[in-house]
Amino acid sequence: MDNKIDFDSKPVRLQKLLAACGVASRRGAEKLILEGRVKVNGVTAGLGQSAVLYLDSITVDGVKITGKDKRIYLMLNKPCGYLTTKRDQRGRKTVMELVADVGMHIFPVGRLDKDSEGMLLFTNDGEFANVIMHPSFGKQKVYEVDVRGDVQNAVSLLKLPVKIDDHTVHACNVELKKVTMDGGTLLITIIEGRNRQIRKMCTVCGVPVKTLKRISIGTLELGDLQPGKWRYLTDDEVLLLG
């Protein structure tokens, strides 16, 4: 992972610059630009535009971007009932409430839906977030999934290509952890991260999800971190993930 940008020498595309400054991931930065929330020298920016951080005045929602924030990396054990978003117009609980005591601008890396729990990373390093989220970097995510139905049959079905939302996906690995009276527990590994992907895959394969918990990303494991609690990643953990 290379976060170094020569801010002083030549213009840098805004989405890359905003990501390097910790405003959002590159995809999130593109969304900010498309929504008209980014300005360069007082003029609303366009997608594909470039700028020089220390020569141009760059603002997001009226706040000037300086690129001087310390890099932050942390893990939250997300409980059920919280939305993975920075703000919700309907006033529902968001994961940002659980990390409010960090005291610096950070954003969630990827998503866990409201009814899911487990490992959720936060950072202000957009390049780090891109490495974790984009499938081309091959970061495996492992989920512990309690399901109803024929779990033994589902183990083989989930490894085959499954079509959801006009996309074909499949699990990298599926292990049967436990069999119960009405179903069991699966360990499902994926690289993609489409909306509610595992829930939809399991439904297609005849084993609807009861509970879903992400327990690892790449080399990083959730461990004994309690629900609703967070901790900083160590330097070694960041290095191995990146």
Residue 113 bears catalytic tag: yes
CB 125 within 8 A of CB 238: no
Catalytic residue among 113, 182, 224, 236: 113
Instruction: State the burial class of residue 238 (Cβ atoms within 10 Å of its Cβ: 0-12, 13-18, 19+).
Output: middle
CA distance 30 to 17: 11
| Residue 101, token pair as written in the block | 């005591």
Residue in the structure block whose two tokens are 């529902």: 92
Q: With the C-alpha atoms ordered 152, 155, 161, 166, is the resulting torsion angle positive or negative?
A: positive
Q: Which residues are catalytic?
A: 113
